[in-house]
Chains A and B, each alone.
Chain A
Amino acid sequence: MLSQMCLAIPGKITSISGDEGLMRVGKIDFGGIQKEANLACVPEAKVGDYVIVHVGFAISRLEEAEANEVFEYLRQMEELSELQPVGPDDPSSGGPDRSAGAV
């Protein structure tokens, strides 16, 4: 999977070396597979952080604080749906008239 250009999965920074700035390089652990990645574009990233790496280049540091958003959404969604049970056949749940091909 890591040989592919775009199928990027998160990896954990285990060490950082190289110059500060453009040639800053980290060792990244992808579930047991170690790879090097350039960290020039994630200057804020530290050892222990998770980054998204594309073709040897970290393009994003994952935000721990945002990581639970999907589950938070799921929880709120279910609380709401318990309050307002609307079936798929309910005619009152109106939407825009945008049939296929209208775009």
Chain B
Amino acid sequence: MKYLDEYRDAEAAHRFAREIARITTRPWAIMEICGGQTHAIVKFGIDELLPKEVTLIHGPGCPVCVTSLEMIDKALDIAARPEVIFCSFGDMLRVPGSTTDLLAVKAAGGDVRIVYSPMDALKLAGPNPGKEVVFFGVGFETTAPATAMAVRQAAHEGLKNFSMLVSHVLVPPAIESLLSAPDCRVQGFLAAGHVCAVMGYEEYLPIAARHRVPIVVTGFEPLDILHGILMVLRQLETGRAEVENQYTRAVRKQGNLPARQLIREVFRVVPRKWRGIGQIAQSGLGLNDDYKAFDAEIKFGVAELRVEEPSECLSGLVLQGKLKPRECPAFGSRCTPEHPLGATMVSSEGACAAYYRYRREPAPAAAG
């Protein structure tokens, strides 16, 4: 397939890997932000092509994984109500809340439906006037234009029985938060290509300058990722800390202006809790005052719900790159995709699920 197969060429991948080995003179730790990139790295064994000096740290860019326990509990509360049709991306159904998950709510008779797009949820509101249709709006900047469009369209149609539980998160404040932690090991970033396709990459310029870290906007195919790693390493090895764009075929500096306009019209920036990490200031999108009537937290009176997170799941450390999935004592034993302790084992973009699927053999240390 065009734009796909050529970026998976093994021979070209090895040529990139040889160049990476040639220019690398010392240990470096690079974080890929996006769960989609983590998935590709583990699936194609990209990390295994790199010299031992280069460590890839898997970042928090999986929206399913970072949706707070509190928000999942709010979703469960709303989804269990008899008048509600609760619509969600399929990835969210098996994410464990405090006591249950959406799949169990569905099995117990709740009307929980998997949708591909927020627009599909919107289409259910008209034909079901006696029901409250609620869409669970999770995701990074990539899904925000679609969510914004659905809300805008609901307002345009004057729908009274449609609302959204919004849990959108933003990448740049998360990078800022990681870099501000005293024990941060990350020396360079692969920024998420599709987030930047929407938002552009100007907001990364002050982060790169302030923290002296190279940030390279990177695509999702194996050659893109190797190219991005090489660009970060070239900067690190020569003392530069700039924002560069590897993924030029999809990302412009300004991003997608109509999409950004939609986001601005519907959302405002809010503080957001991240599962396993805690609250990060200005790191989420919430509906602004003009669209408050579509806020499911207000409509269903769950805005004040507060939930503390339990401790056995170490996904917070995994999401911050402080622990590899296989180093978790529960990995593959008490925590599997069938019985997950945390969201990183649920989502296909979650680091734990990717390791479980492609790297299940125990780490050497655990084998003896």
Residue ranges of A at the interface with B (Cβ–Cβ < 8 Å): 2-10, 12, 22-23, 31, 35, 38, 40-43, 50, 52, 54-57, 59-60, 62-64, 66-67, 69-71, 73-74, 77-78, 81, 86-90, 93, 95-96, 98-103
Contacts and interface: CB of A to CB of B under 8 A. Distances in A.
B288 interface: no
Contact of A5 (B1, B64, B250, B251): B64
Contact of A57 (B3, B28, B146, B179): B146
Contacts of A42: 256, 258
10 contacts: A5-B91, A6-B62, A38-B117, A55-B117, A56-B117, A57-B143, A59-B142, A70-B227, A74-B227, A103-B213
A93 B24 CA distance: 9
A41 B258 contact: yes
B275 interface: no
B90 interface: yes
Contacts of B3: 10, 50, 62, 67
A78 B139 contact: no
A41 B259 contact: yes
Contacts of B194: 6, 8, 52, 54, 59-60
Interface stretch (B71-79, B236-244, B277-285, B298-306): B236-244
Given A55-B146, A59-B256, A93-B23, A10 B2 contact: yes
B60 to A, nearest CB: 13
A7 B117 CA distance: 14
B291 interface: no
A22 B155 CA distance: 14
Interface in B240-268: 246, 248-251, 256, 258-259, 262
Contacts of B146: 38, 54-57
Contacts, number: 185
Nearest to B61: A6
Contact of B239 (A78, A86, A95, A102): A95
A46 B183 CA distance: 49
B224 A56 contact: no
The 10 closest A-B pairs by CB, nearest first: A56-B117, A96-B239, A57-B146, A60-B197, A66-B249, A66-B248, A10-B3, A95-B237, A41-B259, A31-B1
Interface centre among B22, B28, B184, B211 (most CB of A within 10 A): B22
B236 A98 contact: yes
Contact of B116 (A12, A40, A55): A55
B116 A56 contact: yes
Interface residues of B, number: 78
B2 A12 contact: yes
Nearest to A85: B22
B349 interface: yes
B149 A40 contact: yes
Contact of A60 (B90, B138, B256): B256
A47 B213 CA distance: 40
Given A6-B194, A7-B39, A103-B211, A38 B348 contact: no
A93 B237 contact: yes
Nearest to A37: B117
B63 A5 contact: yes
Contact of A7 (B36, B211, B249, B262): B36
Contact of A100 (B1, B187, B198): B187
A3 B114 CA distance: 9
A42 B90 CA distance: 26
Contacts of B39: 7
Nearest to A51: B250
Given A10-B2, A93-B23, A3 B116 contact: yes
Nearest to A9: B4
B43 to A, nearest CB: 11
B248 A63 contact: yes
Interface string B138-177: 1110110110010011000000000000000000000000
Interface stretch (B12-20, B100-108, B324-332, B336-344): B12-20
B22 A81 contact: yes
B120 interface: yes
Contacts of B251: 60
Given A6-B36, A9-B4, A55 B89 contact: yes
B249 A67 contact: yes
